Structure 1
Amino acid sequence: MATDKSTLEASTREGSGKGAARRLRAKGQIPAVVYGKHLKTPLHISVDPKGIRTAINTPHKLNTLIQLKLGSGGEQVLLKDYQMDPLTRDILHADFIAVRDTDQVKVNLPVVLTGKAAGVLDGGLLTQIRRNLEVWALPGAIPLQIEVDVTNLKINEAIHVNDLKLPEGVSVKTNVNYTIAVLAAPEAAEVAAPAAITSAAPAAAAGKAADPKAADAKAPAAAKAPAKK
């Protein structure tokens, strides 16, 4: 699936610091910076924060490919980071990274388990350990998510990063073989508890019947014989 694309208007900005940022926000703009290994220096720009929200309002969300329009030119970018007001939830500052179609970029993707695990059908418990994964992909071919098929997963088995079948052009660059999901056996206590309760009931009943003192204590007192005259 091709990466979703959006456009965003931007302007070159002059000045820096809190004073300049306040003046920008008073005009409905926020300060932003564009970084990139092919850029000689970072680009200091201003953008409409509402425009940022609109640009990433796609299925790819933060991994949406944005065409930044800057004067007569522009840059193809990804939104890498932003600062948000904790009370108003307004975006206060944004960082973009400029990308080239032929250069892989590092993105964070959600991990989604698919299928019905064989071990679950046998009573096992499936637990997803890792819900996001950092991968490398070409900007125009960033997947929506990493899908992991657990259909053949059995009890006491696990799926790790090295087991994944990644989409073409997508790779994981890590020395750690992270665990994605595990399928554990049911707890022994949970299995034994019902049996223990069932076997305890007849034993208790038998114990009560075998106790003559308990039976005598509950029996009514016998009537006394009449006295001889």
Structure 2
Amino acid sequence: MFDGQMPLTTAALPAQPVPAQSLAPLAPARISPLRRSVSNALKRAFDVLAAGAAIVALAPLLLLLAALVGLTSSGPVLFRQRRTGKDGQVFHILKFRSMTVVEDGAEIRHAVQGDKRVTPVGAVLRRTSLDELPQLFNVLAGDMSIVGPRPHALAHDTYYGAIVPQYAERFSVRPGLTGFAQIQGFRGEIHTLDCMKRRVAADADYARNWSFRRDLAIIALTAPLLLKRTNAY
């Protein structure tokens, strides 16, 4: 929490941003409507094929994780929370439940190091990002994309939308499983307002300049982050 305001923690930011020089911020691109339409169709086709293939390939793992969550703690297997999607449309994001609580109100306290609400199985899921796998179904449904700005809880959208000028630009594209901000290192716990401003600036840059080729590069740069992620609580 900072300046006595809303708790603003998600998972600690790394000490140094992850190098992504090949994906440096771009000047606003001039793209013809036809080219943008083709890019949108290609992006959506990739989302459906990639999410569908992943769900089929990971079905045994998804069932195993669901069983572990259900058998080791009381509560629903899936955690559902309202998030803001493209053009401001609200949807329910899906995750494997990793806590003993399921919050979706006006004030949401995110996990911090040593958080007692996190279950033993949940701690492993969060550290490995396996709790995010059900979002593949959000991608299939069209609420999310493989690549895009990570969606925040509605309470945080309201809070930051009022004080960060570029915040609304995030809603011009579908939210994603991973994004430009994440591979730049702008992920995790929000210690200061500047942390969120840098993250939003990266999201806005992506929203203005995304391309299918850039999406593929972001996906490739995300994979190593999953293997060495140590800052999820």
Q: TM-score, normalised by structure 2?
A: 0.23
Q: Which has the higher helix share?
A: 2
TM-score, normalized by length of structure 1? Answer: 0.24
Computing the radius of gyration over CA atoms, which structure comes out larger, 1 or 2?
Answer: 1
